[in-house]
Structure 1
Amino acid sequence: MVGLLVEDTIDDQGWNRKAYEGLLNIHSNLDVDVVLEEGVNSEQKAHRRIKELVDGGVNLIFGHGHAFAEYFSTIHNQYPDVHFVSFNGEVKGENITSLHFEGYAMGYFGGMVAASMSETHKVGVIAAFPWQPEVEGFVDGAKYMNESEAFVRYVGEWTDADKALELFQELQKEQVDVFYPAGDGYHVPVVEAIKDQGDFAIGYVGDQADLGGSTILTSTVQHVDDLYVLVAKRFQEGKLESGNLYYDFQDGVVSLGEFSSVVPDEVREQITDAISTYIQTGQFPHEEER
């Protein structure tokens, strides 16, 4: 039996929603009973929900986010027959695993697309936290494409839409015309504002082409739902490793999304070729040219 803990709600059209879709896929593809718990936003709540899940027969628990790595690290030894899985945190020990998306690459290729479509040669990232590797990747990809200047601003949390919109307005004053709202809890209102202003955006986590029409040039997609099934299947087979596991384009769980109709064919081809080379060799365009 599989349980899922999320910090907020699954109605965010992003990170948490993808987790819920992954949970449903586990239920349908692996014929396993599943349980969802929303609003688990503190260690105390996490510990209480974990006890309830274990008492109900759950033996694989996903905590969908960085914070759960810490929560699980303090309690996993109390439940040796349960495997705990979190995202993007550092863990060690038996029966605990942290899954990491290699965000640098998706940010890099997103930055290439953004720079190719910027008329001002100024692009901007509205990120949640400095530790997000996709931020550095976006900056490097934009710089490689045409030496575009990349501005980075941090919201300080995943869900503060008001702060994110303030930062959007701040970046507009810097003449930024392509934006990367890299935060699952605020990307929707930011994309709406970008669309209203006639600028462009790079989608985040899911393929967000349906949010903004031609406004979304492409999206940096983490196929969280597919990874959930992969991990649950490995657990069923007794093959799920403890510790920190890393996934990238080569594993089929990171990709770019659909291209907007306004992105020229030559840009699409350049980006597609660069991704193909990266999958085969692990090299980025700036590394090939050294």
Structure 2
Amino acid sequence: MIYRFGMILICLFLLGACGETKPTGKIKKVGLLVPETVNDQVWGTKGFNGLLKIHKNIDVDVFYKEGMNSEAIARRAVEDFEQKGVNLIFGHGSEYAEYFNDISSEYPNIHFISFNGDAKNKNTTSLNFKGHAMGFFGGMVAAHMSKTQNVGVIAAYEWQPEIEGFYQGAMAENKNTKVSIEYVGNWDDEIKAVELANDMMDKGIDVIYPAGDGYNVPVIERVKERGLYVIGYVSDQSDLGESTVLTSTVQQVDKLYEKVAEQYNKGVLKPGNLSYDFQDNVISLGKYSPNVNNEFIQKINKQIDIYKETGKLPK
């Protein structure tokens, strides 16, 4: 039996062919830990898709476990993976950086990957998406499309760099834009996030950036009901409504997983904290709504190209 939504997953899933594959590089087998589920269609699903890419393109056996939401549970999962011959483990979230700092010394032959944390040991690496620029370009789109010159961010936490980026991008596009920012204080509190969205829309905000992958889908659905706009987050969310989703700030986790796995397989993956941005082709804007005019799309795409080449954002 499989328990989802924060409960311990007690079954181990093996993907791919029944027989053993024969790795030709450093990787033997790969494991993935997710705090909740791989079926959320946002963050967890992206990690799972990355695992599938590794399985397909590097031709190694891969495993995953859901509901890995505490260090004690993660520790048992790592022990299980080690017994299966796994030597590269992805922890799909910032919480795993701390877990792996504590656990990794016990498993010197396993390399541990986490996100948006501080990797401290020689067999740990933390992958960090540089969110400022993606937020900046999302803010430009929001300000350009706002009819009321009022846009809003529903963020999970104050430390998210895309928040300041969104504000600066909105100001760069239209200095008369008012940017309202509210914090959920959690990645997954859908009820609070939707309440904040309702309050924003009642105050005349007509473009919202729900910068939290655990609640952005219900926020988008609520905004759609009101006939207003959103900027999608983490995934290309145009399929939720092309008239509602102006574009999305996309973190291409699956591509990054594959890139990192290839580096480890070749023996060149560095420990410590690694950062990635548009220049690494793992961050992008998603599909544009047909409501966004082509002239503006050409303008912002050109500015993204300039940023990739020079690292400079529009002023």
TM-score calculated relative to the size of structure 1: 0.97
| Match in the other structure for 2:15 | none
Task: Please report how far the alpha carbon of residue 5 of structure 1 lies from its aligned counterpart in structure 2 after TM superposition.
Answer: 0.3
**1:205 has 2:227 as partner:** no
| Match in the other structure for 1:163 | 192
**1:81-136 per-position Cα deviation (integer Å, ceiling 9, x unaligned):** 00000000112220000000110000000000000000111111111111111111
Task: Please report how far the alpha carbon of residue 149 of structure 1 lies from its aligned counterpart in structure 2 after TM superposition.
Answer: 1.1
Task: Please report how far the alpha carbon of residue 270 of structure 1 lies from its aligned counterpart in structure 2 after TM superposition.
Answer: 1.6
Task: Please report how far the alpha carbon of residue 173 of structure 1 lies from its aligned counterpart in structure 2 after TM superposition.
Answer: 2.7
Task: Please report how far the alpha carbon of residue 274 of structure 1 lies from its aligned counterpart in structure 2 after TM superposition.
Answer: 1.0
| Match in the other structure for 2:283 | 254
| Match in the other structure for 1:175 | 204
User: Which of 86, 93, 96 is equivalent to 1:65?
Assistant: 93
| Match in the other structure for 1:19 | 47
1:61, 1:72 → 2: CA distance? Answer: 10
User: Which of 110, 118, 125 is equivalent to 1:97?
Assistant: 125
1:234, 1:272 → 2: CA distance? Answer: 30
Task: Please report how far the alpha carbon of residue 215 of structure 1 lies from its aligned counterpart in structure 2 after TM superposition.
Answer: 0.6
1:60, 1:128 → 2: CA distance? Answer: 29
User: Which of 292, 308, 314 is equivalent to 1:263?
Assistant: 292
Question: Aligned ranges for residues 99-248 of structure 1 at < 5 Å?
Answer: 99-147=127-175, 148-248=177-277
The runs of 4+ residues in structure 1 deviating greater than 4 Å are none
1:275, 1:8 → 2: CA distance? Answer: 34
Task: Please report how far the alpha carbon of residue 155 of structure 1 lies from its aligned counterpart in structure 2 after TM superposition.
Answer: 0.8
- Structure 1 gaps of 5+ residues are none
Which amino acid is the alignment partner of residue 240 of structure 1? Answer: L
**1:208-258 per-position Cα deviation (integer Å, ceiling 9, x unaligned):** 110112211000001100110111111111111000001000010000011
User: Which of 17, 35, 58 is equivalent to 1:7?
Assistant: 35
Task: Please report how far the alpha carbon of residue 79 of structure 1 lies from its aligned counterpart in structure 2 after TM superposition.
Answer: 0.5
The answer (yes or no) to whether the contact 1:12–1:184 under 8 Å persists in 2 is no
2:277, 2:92 → 1: CA distance? Answer: 18
**1:40 has 2:65 as partner:** no
Helix, strand or coil at the partner of 1:285: coil
Helix, strand or coil at the partner of 1:74: helix
Helix, strand or coil at the partner of 1:3: strand
TM-score calculated relative to the size of structure 2: 0.90
RMSD of the alignment, in Å? 0.8
2:99, 2:171 → 1: CA distance? Answer: 38
1:3, 1:248 → 2: CA distance? Answer: 25
Q: Determine which structure has the larger helix proportion and give its number.
A: 1
Task: Please report how far the alpha carbon of residue 174 of structure 1 lies from its aligned counterpart in structure 2 after TM superposition.
Answer: 2.4
Task: Please report how far the alpha carbon of residue 63 of structure 1 lies from its aligned counterpart in structure 2 after TM superposition.
Answer: 0.2
Helix, strand or coil at the partner of 2:233: strand
Which amino acid is the alignment partner of residue 278 of structure 1? Answer: Y
1:185, 1:259 → 2: CA distance? Answer: 22
Helix, strand or coil at the partner of 2:31: strand
Helix, strand or coil at the partner of 2:41: coil
2:251, 2:181 → 1: CA distance? Answer: 21
Helix, strand or coil at the partner of 1:259: coil
1:236, 1:35 → 2: CA distance? Answer: 17
Task: Please report how far the alpha carbon of residue 192 of structure 1 lies from its aligned counterpart in structure 2 after TM superposition.
Answer: 0.4
